């Protein structure tokens, strides 16, 4: 969990916890599924030599509060509140996994952004993938509403390709409890990804966007990266050798620094 030093109130009164470090242009880091900001922490430290990095806990996670009902628009307001608190217009955004979809949604909605970088956004491409995605969204939403976070986490792992035996083994791991505590936010990430494919409105997003994947996840994330670079009018594609879904912070920082500082 982020050891927060500051909070800012979003438009609906939700308190968004964040950590600020470094000096330079403002870069807001958007975490993905089952993350309270911790995953981006080492990357934030790497980039603090170039940017004022705002690494935050999305609503319902870590020390951030939550307000029902959920809507993607509320998360966009959270980002706007963070940008206003940082006193920067425009800001840069980096989003990991489903956080990348949220970062792109913020830019498309009109947040003052001059550059966006995303890492392995898990859009689904193809009829079968979209069918599986819709089935997952329906099921995980119902499971969360029923108050069964462990089952929601297991359903997410199934979507990610894990078998039943591996999921059963994961239930006894030290990481299970922390992930289960965030499982109620899985429908939030699903909402950020919409119908599972890059929306056509991204065709009007003119800001420069860097689309990155690691070569270890090529089979899963290559179709999404191709679709994004074809949809976004000002996109650049980069592949990182030897990297999985959680990339080495120093390696990813080197790629981000050159693009986001431009």
Backbone φ and ψ of 60, nearest 5°: 85, 5
Place of tokens 């807001």: 28
CB atoms < 10 A from the CB of 82, how many? 23
Tens-place pLDDT, residues 98-134: 999 999 999 999 999 999 999 999 999 999 999 999 9
Going by pLDDT thresholds of 50, 70 and 90, the confidence category of residue 201 is: very high
Residue 2 clears pLDDT 80, i.e. is over it? no
pLDDT of residue 5: 76
Tens-place pLDDT, residues 156-166: 999 999 999 99
pLDDT of residue 88: 81
Q: What's the burial of 117, exposed, middle or buried (CB within 10 Å: 0-12/13-18/19+)?
A: buried
The three-class DSSP label of residue 193 is coil
Residue 1 clears pLDDT 50, i.e. is over it? no
Predicted structure pTM score: 0.96
Following DSSP, what letter does each residue of 29-61 receive, concatenated? EE--TT-SSTTTHHHHHHHTTTSEEEEEPPTTS
Going by pLDDT thresholds of 50, 70 and 90, the confidence category of residue 262 is: confident
**Residues whose CB falls within 8 Å of the CB of residue 215, separated by 6 or more in sequence, listed in order:** 239, 240, 241, 242, 243
Residue 190 clears pLDDT 50, i.e. is over it? yes
Mean pLDDT value of segment 87-92:
92
Tens-place pLDDT, residues 228-253: 999 999 999 999 999 999 999 999 99
**90: cis peptide before it, omega within 30°?**
yes
Lowest mean pLDDT among 57-61, 126-130, 180-184, 204-208: 126-130
- Cβ–Cβ < 8 Å for 213, 251: no
Could you give the domains of the chain? 6-123+198-260 (3.40.50.1820), 127-189 (no CATH)
């Amino acid at each position: 969990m982020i050891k927060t030093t500051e909070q800012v109130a979003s438009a609906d009164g939700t308190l968004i916890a964040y950590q600020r470090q470094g000096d330079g242009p403002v870069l807001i880091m958007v975490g993905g599924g089952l993350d309270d900001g911790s995953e981006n922490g080492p990357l934030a430290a790497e980039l603090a030599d170039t940017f004022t990095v705002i690494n935050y806990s999305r609503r319902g996670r870590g020390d951030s509060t939550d307000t029902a009902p959920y809507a993607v628009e509320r998360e966009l307001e959270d980002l706007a509140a963070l940008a206003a608190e940082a006193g920067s217009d425009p800001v840069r955004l980096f989003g990991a996994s489903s956080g990348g979809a949220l970062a792109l949604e913020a830019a498309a909605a009109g947040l003052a952004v001059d550059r966006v970088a995303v890492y392995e956004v898990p859009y689904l491409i193809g009829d079968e993938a979209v069918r599986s995605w819709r089935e997952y969204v329906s099921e995980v939403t119902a499971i969360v509403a029923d108050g069964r976070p462990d089952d929601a986490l297991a359903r997410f792992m199934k979507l990610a390709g894990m078998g039943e035996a591996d999921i059963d083994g994961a239930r006894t791991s030290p990481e299970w409890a922390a992930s289960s505590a965030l499982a109620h936010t899985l429908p939030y990430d699903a909402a950020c990804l919409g119908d599972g494919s890059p929306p056509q409105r991204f065709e009007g997003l003119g800001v420069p966007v860097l689309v990155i994947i690691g070569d270890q996840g090529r089979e899963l994330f290559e179709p999404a990266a191709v679709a994004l670079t074809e949809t976004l009018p000002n996109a650049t594609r980069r592949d990182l050798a030897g990297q999985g879904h959680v990339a080495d912070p120093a390696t990813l920082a080197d790629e981000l620094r050159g693009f986001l500082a431009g």
